[in-house]
A = this chain, B = another copy of it.
Amino acid sequence: MKHELDTFFNPKSVAIIGASRHPKKFGRVIFENFLRTEFKGKVFAVNPKGESILGERCYKTLSEIKENIDLAVVVIPAEHVPQSIKECTKKGVRSCIVISAGFSEIGNLKGEEEILKAKGKMRIIGPNVIGIYDAYSKVDTIFNPPHRQSRPEKGSIGFISQSGAFGASMMDWASAEGIGLSRFISIGNRIDVDEIDLLDYLMKDNQTKAIAIYLEGTRRGSELFKKLKEAVKKKPVIIIKAGQTTEGSHAASSHTGSLAGEAEVYSGVFKQAGAIEVKEIEDLFNISKALAFQPLPKGNRIHVITNGGGFGVLATDALIKNKLKLSELSQDTIEKIKDSKDVPNYAVIKNPMDLVGDATSARYKAAIGAVLEDKNVDGIIVTVLFQLALMESNVVDVIINADRKSDKPIIICSAGGAYTSVHKKILEESGIPTYNTPEQAAKAMKA
């Protein structure tokens, strides 16, 4: 059976109420999103002016459209929204995203009451949202033009954000890093659909392997707790709670009008429910991507493999600080690596294992293969410095193939510029999480 919210993500037909000819208008960007992508449903522009937009027919009113509408996207001034909602209800629209701002966040509670009164059975996301980006169905109500904000590739992280702008810049960054998303939803003033409803949707969604949440506060504490408990049985949930300090809480309350509440209470709820709380925004996706793709380690014994001694030292520090252990290789494994024709006698076969600056991909292959097979090792962190003249690009294949054969987590640490980024992006797109710093890599392994 389909989820009640499924028409938000897989609508057969969409109406953009407030579609516009003007290139900078949000309604224009959103309408264009649906036209230029592989979105498979039908799209209708609605605007009282009725002039054609981008060569497509524009309907003066919703009722002019003969087909059923699964999803309406409302992008018109706040004062006209309640009337528009009435028309949606009359038309039998199933789900509705209200992009328009100018409601409770500036004290206009009446507008929201009117919407709620008019909505009937229709479900509403918003108002005051950037909406939905679904990497699979290509539902995309993000009104930032794509040349300014890239859309992430298809991936496995489902992302719920209480702040639209925060969500948008995270998506842009994820996209640049090669991190894929399944679906993104900004919940804004959430007069109807909230984080708990969406948690329920994403936990049942096959394309989502990990759920990331940016939360300022909730209105339904005990339901959130119950739903989190249920969700973490199916997939990991990673949360960043804004308003961790008293001052931050006050700022949050002027932002989305939500009462942020005591940070400790939230932390306790997340912990008890089994969700992972992160404190820094870069950890939100860094940890989500590791959990979405890599198997969990069976223990805490981690091996570090590197071609740069300094990174070996830093990775060791980072592992210990994250309360992980350095694995000790069996004598068999050590001999196997030392006997390999690809590993010279000046390589340091310890933990960290320093394959030294002239390491080739063959040397990595011999080392990674043997270490992954060792039963004293639960996971590995591989540092690759692509800057070194003898490091070959096909080390990427070596790592991807090792990952496919092994049920232990592999995490990559690699820092650099353009040349390095190309290689990291290929790894990311193959489900192997990469990090700029040993600290980030160790945090991900810890999670």
Digitize A276-289: 1 where CB-to-B-CB distance is under 8 Å, 0 elsewhere: 00011110000000
A438 pairs with B307, CB closer than 8 A = no
Are B248 and A320 within 8 A (Cβ)? Answer: yes
Contacts of A256 in B (CB 8 A): 309
- Chain A positions 302 through 335: 1 when the CB is less than 8 Å from some CB of chain B, otherwise 0: 0000011111111011011100001000000000
Chain B residues whose CB sits within 8 angstroms of the CB of A421 once the complex forms: 176
Q: Is A162 an interface residue (CB 8 A)?
A: yes
Please tell me if the beta carbons of B24 and A149 are within 8 angstroms of each other in the complex.
Answer: no
State the oligomeric state as a number of copies.
Answer: 2
B176 pairs with A418, CB closer than 8 A: yes
**Chain A residues packing against B (C-beta within 8 Å):** 24, 26, 29, 101-102, 106, 143-145, 147-150, 161-170, 172-173, 175-176, 214, 216, 242-248, 250-252, 254-256, 260, 279-282, 307-314, 316-317, 319-321, 326, 346, 348, 350, 352, 354, 356-357, 385-390, 414-421, 436-439
Partner of A317, one of B243, B308, B416, B436: B243
A316 touches B248 (CB 8 A): yes
Chain B residue at minimum C-beta to C-beta distance from A310: B163
A29 to B309, CA, bound (A): 22
Q: Is the CB of B245 within 8 A of A316?
A: yes
A163-B311, A176-B418, A176-B421 known; 19 other A-B pairs, CB under 8 Å? Answer: A24-B390, A26-B389, A148-B388, A149-B416, A149-B419, A164-B308, A164-B357, A167-B310, A168-B387, A172-B419, A173-B416, A245-B320, A247-B320, A248-B314, A248-B317, A281-B314, A281-B438, A281-B439, A282-B437
Point out the residues of chain B lying under 8 angstroms from A385, CB to CB: 165, 168-169
Q: Is the CB of A248 within 8 A of B313?
A: yes
Question: Is the CB–CB distance between B389 and A144 below 8 Å?
Answer: yes
Q: Are A242 and B310 in contact (CB under 8 A)?
A: yes
